């Protein structure tokens, strides 16, 4: 991941956080605005109720006046009933107005006046009715007496209630305006919130899309890289296998062509050796019978000849061993492989058992640790590889510490990896490549060997489509890692790339 | 007819080997005439066309090395065994190769004996002497055929 990617990520995170914070604020504001609108609506409704109650009071006052006058004229029961009802209803209505306008001092002031006038009005009505019900005509005649008072009170009442209604109308206008404003701002907030939501959602979607695309792309890249890696491994193995084949052919030809002159060297050395006896006899005879003919060189030659022949013989014998080793190697390289399912645990255990007597002497141990990986390969080749590696591990243990050798196996990607790990004397890093070369050995030469084992192991590994590497430091033990294709049949089928 | 009637034709590019083979043959007490060829072309020419060659005149034994400079001994063996007149001529393959497949191939084509040249000279001498025994056995019916 690049630096720009990382700073971009930080930016996206910040932007998203801000977006969601704004959305939260918008939500809270909306709740507040809705509450506001509801409050203003409630207050408008309240104003209407106040107006309505004032209106009812006005009607009651007018009805009382009408009932009073009707009773004076007709003395009928209907008027009397109306009188009684209105007389009874007026105080609670006024109380109701008082309760409703308790928060408005100016209305309360007016209400005090209204109450006063209403009392006058009621008292005058009461007086009129009482007089009219009196038996004496004088009293009845005086029924109109209260009219004047009542008239004034009525006029005041009308004026006062109108004032109160006006006040409520004024409030209504204000409250309606506020209600409209609150509604408008609610719409505005709603709109802004909606817009914000669209923006944040859009941004979130874009980010998700971008990441998904990025993720897909990197997955594709990874897949390609993996395939590329596998291809590279396959190509490298094929290359090594080809090179190995070439070396095998080369070794075969060389060992044959070297053998031919060697036959001569050995043969004529033998012929030469055969001449030593008659020549020695001759020199001895000359020495005895005619010492005058004898020279110092001839005597020297008599001593040098067997020595020279001896050196030639021992050298050719060694050369023959080496050539045979190469030949064996090349022959192994041309053996037809037979892929079979291999039980690694059993194979390793049987190799371990074959070293039992050597291990018993040194007190070393071999752990076979979970090599239960399914593997199809050539049994003989694998056995030779492992037994060479284990033999080396046993051979080069450090005498100063108890020997521990472990064999492990596991699946690693498309390969099976087998490790042979020891805690022996180790190999200097400079020698890691060299030890796999033919006739080359590393470290102190205190063990018998021709330098063939690891060359053989490497040749066999290549043949099995595998690789062999060494990880070690001098004095710290060594790990030989064999990586093989899990199925030699599939591996052989694959076209060499 | 004398014992010498069987010619030994040795096709061997290595002079040293030829000399050693000859020495050991003689040591084995075999006095037959030995004709030595160092390459395949002249050897084939002799075998098929020469007046003294086995194709025109008399029995012979061929000692054949497989590694020749101009052609493979296997090819020469194939030509001999494919020829109507030459195919009964015994061929002893005497070479450095001890590869099983190679030996099988030679016998499949019709080699009569296959001897590996051992680097160990004592075994080499023994092998040649055994060849001498073989020669002394095989020349009898050849003589009988001619008579």
List chain B domain ranges. Answer: 3-142
Q: How far is B96 from chain A (nearest CA, A)?
A: 7
Q: Between residues 9 and 38 of chain B, which touch chain A (CB distance below 8 Å)? A: 14, 16-17, 20, 23
Q: How far is B144 from chain A (nearest CA, A)?
A: 37
* Distance separating alpha carbons of residues A447 and A395, to the nearest angstrom: 7
Residues of A in contact with B117 (CB under 8 A): 259, 263
Question: What single string gives the DSSP state of each residue in B20-45?
Answer: HHHHHHHHTT----EEEESSHHHHHH
Q: How far is CA A370 from the centre of its chain?
A: 30
Q: How far is B98 from chain A (nearest CA, A)?
A: 10
Contact between chains at B119 and A261 (C-beta distance less than 8 A): no
Phi/psi of residue B8, nearest 5 degrees? -100, 125
* Distance separating alpha carbons of residues A465 and A108, to the nearest angstrom: 107
Q: What token pair was written down for A495?
A: 């076209």
Size of interface A-B (CB pairs under 8 A): 47
Q: What token pair was written down for B79?
A: 């030509």
Q: How far is CA B137 from the centre of its chain?
A: 15
Q: Which of A411, A422, A408 is nearest to A348 (CA)?
A: A408
Q: For residue B30, what are the contacts with CB-CB under 8 A and spacing of at least 6? A: B8, B132, B135, B136
pLDDT-derived band at B77, boundaries 50, 70, 90? very high
Residue A362, classed as helix, strand or coil, is: helix
- Give, in degrees to the nearest 5, the angle at Cα B106 between B100 and B107: 90
Q: What is the mean pLDDT of residues B80-97?
A: 85
* Distance separating alpha carbons of residues B2 and A256, to the nearest angstrom: 39
Which class for A30: exposed (0-12), middle (13-18), buried (19 or more C-beta within 10 A)? middle
Q: Specify the pLDDT at position A479.
A: 92
Asked if the model's pLDDT at residue B76 lies above 70, the reply is yes
* Distance separating alpha carbons of residues A169 and A400, to the nearest angstrom: 112
Higher pLDDT, B1 or A457: A457
Asked if the model's pLDDT at residue B33 lies above 50, the reply is yes
Q: What token pair was written down for A239?
A: 């290359």
CATH number at A339-493: 3.30.565.10
Residue A127: how many other CB atoms lie within 10 Å: 17
Residues of chain A in Cβ contact (below 8 Å) with chain B? 256-257, 259-264, 266-271, 316, 320, 331
pLDDT-derived band at B138, boundaries 50, 70, 90? low
* Side-chain-side CA neighbours of residue A248 (13 Å): 20
Residues of B in contact with A268 (CB under 8 A): 16, 20
- Give, in degrees to the nearest 5, the angle at Cα A212 between A207 and A215: 120
Asked if the model's pLDDT at residue B145 lies above 50, the reply is no
Contact between chains at B17 and A263 (C-beta distance less than 8 A): yes
Q: How far is CA A180 from the centre of its chain?
A: 53
Candidates A253, A263, A322, A331: best to mutate against B (most CBs of B within 10 A) is: A263
Residue A493, classed as helix, strand or coil, is: helix
* Distance separating alpha carbons of residues A372 and A345, to the nearest angstrom: 6
* Distance separating alpha carbons of residues A393 and A480, to the nearest angstrom: 9
Asked if the model's pLDDT at residue B3 lies above 70, the reply is no
- Terminal CA-to-CA distance of chain B, rounded, Å? 8
Residue A364, classed as helix, strand or coil, is: coil
* Distance separating alpha carbons of residues B144 and B147, to the nearest angstrom: 5
- Terminal CA-to-CA distance of chain A, rounded, Å? 32
Contact between chains at B23 and A271 (C-beta distance less than 8 A): yes
Question: DSSP assignment, residue A335?
Answer: S
Q: What token pair was written down for A438?
A: 């033919």
Residues of B in contact with A259 (CB under 8 A): 96, 117, 119
Below-70 pLDDT ranges, chain A? 1-4, 138-148, 370-371, 492-497
DSSP helix, strand, coil percent of chain B (3-state; round to 5): 50, 15, 35
* Distance separating alpha carbons of residues A435 and B11, to the nearest angstrom: 43
Sheet containing strand A365-369, edge to edge, reads: A365-369, A404-412, A415-422, A478-484, A467-472
Candidates B20, B101, B119, B123: best to mutate against A (most CBs of A within 10 A) is: B119
* Distance separating alpha carbons of residues B77 and B92, to the nearest angstrom: 10
Q: Specify the pLDDT at position B124.
A: 74
Contact between chains at A260 and B20 (C-beta distance less than 8 A): no
- What is B3-142's CATH superfamily? Response regulator (3.40.50.2300)
Q: How far is A331 from chain B (nearest CA, A)?
A: 8
Q: What is the pLDDT of residues A156-165, one digit of tens each?
A: 888 888 988 8
Q: For residue A232, what are the contacts with CB-CB under 8 A and spacing of at least 6? A: none
Q: What is the pLDDT of residues A387-427, one digit of tens each?
A: 999 988 888 888 888 888 888 888 888 888 999 999 888 88
Q: Specify the pLDDT at position A482.
A: 92
Q: Specify the pLDDT at position A321.
A: 82
Residues of B in contact with A316 (CB under 8 A): 119
B67 - beta bridge partners? Answer: B72
Contact between chains at A267 and B20 (C-beta distance less than 8 A): yes
Candidates B15, B121, B123: best to mutate against A (most CBs of A within 10 A) is: B121
Using a CB–CB cutoff of 8 Å, tell me whether B97 touches chain A. Answer: yes
Residue A134: how many other CB atoms lie within 10 Å: 13
Using a CB–CB cutoff of 8 Å, tell me whether B128 touches chain A. Answer: no
Q: How far is B83 from chain A (nearest CA, A)?
A: 30
Q: How far is A334 from chain B (nearest CA, A)?
A: 11
Indicate the residue of A264, A270, A316 with minimum beta-carbon distance to B16: A264
Contact between chains at B17 and A266 (C-beta distance less than 8 A): no
Q: Specify the pLDDT at position B108.
A: 92
Indicate the residue of B23, B99, B119 with minimum beta-carbon distance to A266: B119
Residues of B in contact with A260 (CB under 8 A): 14, 17, 67, 96
Using a CB–CB cutoff of 8 Å, tell me whether B120 touches chain A. Answer: yes
* Distance separating alpha carbons of residues B107 and B103, to the nearest angstrom: 6
Contact between chains at A256 and B23 (C-beta distance less than 8 A): no
Phi/psi of residue A154, nearest 5 degrees? -60, -45
C-alpha distance from residue A75 to each of A60, A66, A144, A260 (Å): 20, 12, 14, 165
Q: What token pair was written down for A362?
A: 């040194």
Residue of A nearest to B15 (CA): A264
* Distance separating alpha carbons of residues A454 and A459, to the nearest angstrom: 8
Indicate the residue of A256, A259, A267 with minimum beta-carbon distance to B16: A267
C-alpha distance from residue A41 to each of A51, A180, A254, A384, A467 (Å): 15, 9, 110, 97, 86
Residue of B nearest to A262 (CA): B119
Q: What is the mean pLDDT of residues B130-135?
A: 72
């Amino acid at each position: 991941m690049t630096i720009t990617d990382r700073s971009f990520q930080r930016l996206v995170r910040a932007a998203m956080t801000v977006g969601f914070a704004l959305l939260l604020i918008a939500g809270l504001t909306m709740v507040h605005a809705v509450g506001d609108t509801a409050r203003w609506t409630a207050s408008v409704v309240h104003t209407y109720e106040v107006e309505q109650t004032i209106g009812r009071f006005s009607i009651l006052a007018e009805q009382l006046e009408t009932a009073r006058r009707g009773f004076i004229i007709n003395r009928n029961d209907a008027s009397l009933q109306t009188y009684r009802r209105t007389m009874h209803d007026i105080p609670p209505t006024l109380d109701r107005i008082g309760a409703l306008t308790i928060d408005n001092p100016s209305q309360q002031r007016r209400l005090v006046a209204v109450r006063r006038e209403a009392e006058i009005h009621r008292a005058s009505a009461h007086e009129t009715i009482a007089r009219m019900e009196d038996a004496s005509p004088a009293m009845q005649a005086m029924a109109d007496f209260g009219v004047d008072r009542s008239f004034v009170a009525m006029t005041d009442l009308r004026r006062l209630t109108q004032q109160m209604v006006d006040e409520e109308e004024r409030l209504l206008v204000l409250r309606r305006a506020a209600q409209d404003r609150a509604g408008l701002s609610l719409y505005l907030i709603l709109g802004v919130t909606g817009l914000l939501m669209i923006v944040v959602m859009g941004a979130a979607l874009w980010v998700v899309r971008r990441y998904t695309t990025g993720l897909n792309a990197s997955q594709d890249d990874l897949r390609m890289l993996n395939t590329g890696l596998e291809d590279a491994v396959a190509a490298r193995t094929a290359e090594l296998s080809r090179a190995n084949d070439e070396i095998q052919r080369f070794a075969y030809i060389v060992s044959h062509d070297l053998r031919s002159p060697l036959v001569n060297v050995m043969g004529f050395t033998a012929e030469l050796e055969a001449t030593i006896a008659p020549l020695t006899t001759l020199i001895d005879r000359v020495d005895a019978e005619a010492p005058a003919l004898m020279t110092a060189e001839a005597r020297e030659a008599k001593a040098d000849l067997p020595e020279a022949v001896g050196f030639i013989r021992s050298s050719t014998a060694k050369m023959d061993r080496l050539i045979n080793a190469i030949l064996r190697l090349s022959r192994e390289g041309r053996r037809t492989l037979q892929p079979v399912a291999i039980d690694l645990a059993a194979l390793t255990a049987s190799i371990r058992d074959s070293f039992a007597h050597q291990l018993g002497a040194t007190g070393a141990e071999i752990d076979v640790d979970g090599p239960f990986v399914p593997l199809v390969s050539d049994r003989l080749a694998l056995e030779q590889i492992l037994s060479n590696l284990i033999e080396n591990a046993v051979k080069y243990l450090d005498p100063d510490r108890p020997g521990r050798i472990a064999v492990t196996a596991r699946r690693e990607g498309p390969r099976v990896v087998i490790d042979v790990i020891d805690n022996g004397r180790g190999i200097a890093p400079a020698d890691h490549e060299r030890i796999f070369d033919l006739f080359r050995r590393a470290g102190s030469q205190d063990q018998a060997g021709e330098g063939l084992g690891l060359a053989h192991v490497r040749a066999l590994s290549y043949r099995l489509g595998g690789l062999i590497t060494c990880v070690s430091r001098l004095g710290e033990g060594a790990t030989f890692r064999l990586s093989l294709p899990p199925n030699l049949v599939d591996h052989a089928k694959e076209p060499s790339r | 007819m004398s014992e010498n009637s069987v010619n030994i034709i040795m096709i061997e590019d290595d002079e040293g080997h030829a000399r050693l083979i000859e020495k050991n043959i003689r040591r084995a007490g075999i006095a037959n005439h030995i004709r030595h060829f160092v390459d395949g072309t002249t050897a084939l020419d002799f075998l098929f066309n020469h007046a003294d060659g086995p194709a025109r005149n008399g029995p012979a034994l061929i000692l054949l090395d497989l590694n020749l400079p101009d052609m493979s001994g296997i090819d020469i063996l194939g030509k001999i065994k494919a020829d109507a007149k030459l195919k009964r001529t015994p061929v002893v393959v005497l070479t450095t190769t001890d590869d099983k497949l190679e030996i099988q191939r030679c016998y499949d084509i019709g080699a009569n004996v296959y001897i590996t040249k051992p680097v160990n000279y004592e075994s080499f001498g023994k092998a040649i002497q055994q060849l001498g025994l073989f020669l002394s056995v095989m020349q009898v019916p050849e003589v009988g055929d001619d008579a």
